Structure 1
């Protein structure tokens, strides 16, 4: 085989072109950004994914708010549980007595 023949050069160019097509197809299939004509990258737009991201962001904000409220409630419960005075116990007993009197 003559390594300098035009057939060999064209075969190398054809294999390179085929490899580029296969690589691009694999990248497109798996959602990777593709290169455009000028060497930049183009992202695949998917409105469904954009909507999902928006919904998850909203849900994340709501959950952070709930966590903040729960942390406040836990701090109140910790304060109640660690209260060393008998004032709290007296108030609970008074509430129990009031509840028993209302039942009768």
Structure 2
């Protein structure tokens, strides 16, 4: 199964592809604009909705910008949207 998308929020993601052969999947993301650092986690860290803000403060070097990317039951969301929807999930990575 291959899913492609171009309608990404905030203008940081130019394009992405999700390739999911059965259980182990791969997400390829093409970023645009000025990104200082981008980390993908090789392990999926579970996070509750109430703990997202603390994780963001601990992980990102600045409060002004940067996003934690979380896979939730509502789809792949940045930390702001996950907090708005009160949805926890697994941390995929972050960029700033």
The TM-score with structure 2 as length reference comes to: 0.18
Larger strand fraction of residues: 2
The TM-score with structure 1 as length reference comes to: 0.17
Larger radius of gyration: 1
RCO comparison, higher one (Cα < 8 Å, 6+): 2
Larger helix fraction of residues: 1
